[in-house]
A = this chain, B = another copy of it.
Amino acid sequence: MSAPWPPSGRIELPDTDEPYWAPEETMDPEQRRGVVFDKLREQVRYCWERSPFYRELWSDAGVFPETLRTLDDLRHFPFVKKEQIRADQVAHPPFGSNICCPPEAIAHIHGTSGTTGRPTAFAISRDDWLRIAAAHARIMWSFGIRRTDTVFIGSFFSLYLGSWGALIGTEALGARAFPFGAGVPGQTERALEYIDLIRPTAFYGTPSYALHLAKVAAKRGVDPKDFGFKIMFFSGEPGAGIPATKKRIEDTFGAICIDSGSMAEMTPWMTNSECSHRSGMHLWEDLVYTEIVDRETGEPVEGDGEGVPVYTHLERTSQPMIRLYSGDLTHATSDPCPCGRTYRRLPDGIYGRVDDMLIIRGVNVYPNAVENALASVPGVGSEYRIVIERPGELDVFRLEVESTEPSVADAVRDRVKSAAGVGPDVVVHPPDTLETTEFKSRRVDDRRNTAASTPSH
């Protein structure tokens, strides 16, 4: 006997001292697979009935709701890739043929930034909005947010779903939301004044922006530890899951640094999230079911092998995603977490993308590995640029960093070579020379013939 589907999104807050929000969190994994399967079956049937997109995709692949007899059968369903969603939205503007709910059920419209081509538009139903809020509240609970917290949201409120998820999760949990936003000239200075005035206990934003805030504070003689943040949670960039960047953030602010986030299409996007123990993002699989698939074969990876997360909604009624192929790279472990949750974890976070791996002089290099190595060298700033050129036959790998000490170059070169397998030419700039962004930084500049730097598969 399974619970009603979709769940209501209604919230019953646990007692403050209660570490868990829902019984699924500590359930025997095999038993929880039963819970997941019950939800998945309903979700798949819903998609089949409501979504011309899935009817066509699945019919072409020869799969049907009845194909799903066990959770393992999900592997028979085709991946959904971002390009397909975009193409479907072009053919069926604006929300595609996978909208699944009537227009009057839509509560919020968001989308991708559209900086690279046609944007993807997201329409989220009223009920989904409540369920997303409930899911985020539950996950925020796991990293320690309580009703007594004030959550400073230091990211831009517009199309970007990160800010909104953090906001509605905060509201649903009954904590105080301080939706400050970001991105407007001069706003960081004002943020510092307001943080001093309001004393928020938690921060949400991108790692880049947190470090930018710290830098601006330092210039004004303010120690970011004095902000009083206890919990800082992040998405939008991998930094918070990169050990050295995590350590830098924790040392700078005296707060715990929580990595979270999957994809905008998958909202609730916090269903990859660390708990307060920060031992890697848990996969909150009864909210969003996540497979890790082999990058070559596409088959689910056994054990803790590297692969690509593939996400499946279990309780979305608007634009549900069944097997959305993320293109990210990670590996998962079932080793216990001290928190007691039985979810698998991503002990090294999302550490790369299938399509952002650089091949430098024949070696596979992930920018995040370079960032991690770099952050472990004392006296080196958090901003950097990777520049790759091929003036003749050989790749030239240049790493531009910031430091007051030009002599750090050797240490940087050694650490990066040891971590990434290729040693860069290191250029040391004075602090604050490299351009910073207040949002997602773009740090790789590959100037070679692009064909040569594309992964071979």
Q: What chain B residues lie within 8 Å of A177 (beta carbons)?
A: 107-109
Contact B121 A171 (CB under 8 A): no
Near B by CB (< 8 A), chain A positions 132-165 give 147-148, 150, 156-159, 164
Contact A197 B107 (CB under 8 A): no
Near B by CB (< 8 A), chain A positions 90-122 give 93-94, 103-104, 106-111, 113-114, 119, 121
Q: What chain B residues lie within 8 Å of A114 (beta carbons)?
A: 190, 193-194
Contact B181 A158 (CB under 8 A): yes
Smallest CB separation, A290 vs chain B (Å): 29
Contact B198 A109 (CB under 8 A): yes
Q: Does A366 sit within 8 A of B, measured CB to CB? A: no
Q: How far is the CA of A176 from the CA of B181 in the complex (A)?
A: 22
Smallest CB separation, A139 vs chain B (Å): 20
- Report which of B94, B104, B181 forms a contact with A156, defined as CB distance below 8 A: B181
Q: Does A404 sit within 8 A of B, measured CB to CB? A: no
Task: Convert A387-425 into 0s and 1s, putting 1 for each residue whose CB lies closer than 8 angstroms to a CB of B.
Answer: 000000000000000000000000000000000000000
Contact A109 B158 (CB under 8 A): no
Contact B148 A109 (CB under 8 A): no
User: With A119-B194, A147-B104, A157-B158 in contact, is A178–B109 under 8 Å at CB?
Assistant: yes
Q: How far is the CA of A176 from the CA of B126 in the complex (A)?
A: 9
Q: Does A180 sit within 8 A of B, measured CB to CB? A: yes
Task: Convert A54-96 into 0s and 1s, putting 1 for each residue whose CB lies closer than 8 angstroms to a CB of B.
Answer: 0000000000000000000000000000000000000001100
Q: What chain B residues lie within 8 Å of A194 (beta carbons)?
A: 111, 114, 119, 159
Q: What is the oligomeric copy number?
A: 2
Contact A104 B198 (CB under 8 A): no
Q: How far is the CA of A427 from the CA of B45 in the complex (A)?
A: 69
Q: How far is the CA of A199 from the CA of B95 in the complex (A)?
A: 12
- Report which of B111, B184, B190 forms a contact with A184, defined as CB distance below 8 A: B184
Near B by CB (< 8 A), chain A positions 172-193 give 174, 176-181, 183-184, 187, 190, 193
Q: How far is the CA of A367 from the CA of B69 in the complex (A)?
A: 72
Q: How far is the CA of A104 from the CA of B147 in the complex (A)?
A: 7
Contact B197 A179 (CB under 8 A): no
Q: What chain B residues lie within 8 Å of A123 (beta carbons)?
A: 176
Q: How far is the CA of A183 from the CA of B182 in the complex (A)?
A: 10
Q: What chain B residues lie within 8 Å of A164 (beta carbons)?
A: 179
Contact A158 B174 (CB under 8 A): no
- Report which of B94, B157, B199 forms a contact with A198, defined as CB distance below 8 A: B94
Q: How far is the CA of A199 from the CA of B93 in the complex (A)?
A: 10
Q: How far is the CA of A8 from the CA of B397 in the complex (A)?
A: 63
Q: What chain B residues lie within 8 Å of A159 (beta carbons)?
A: 180, 194
Q: How far is the CA of A174 from the CA of B102 in the complex (A)?
A: 13
The residue on B at minimum CB distance from A123 is B176
Q: How far is the CA of A123 from the CA of B103 in the complex (A)?
A: 34
Contact A106 B197 (CB under 8 A): no
Task: Convert A198-219 into 0s and 1s, putting 1 for each residue whose CB lies closer than 8 angstroms to a CB of B.
Answer: 1100000000000000000000
Q: What chain B residues lie within 8 Å of A111 (beta carbons)?
A: 194
Q: What are 16 A-B contacts defined by CB distance under 8 Å? A: A103-B176, A104-B174, A107-B176, A107-B177, A108-B177, A108-B178, A108-B179, A114-B190, A121-B197, A123-B176, A156-B184, A157-B157, A158-B180, A158-B181, A158-B184, A183-B184
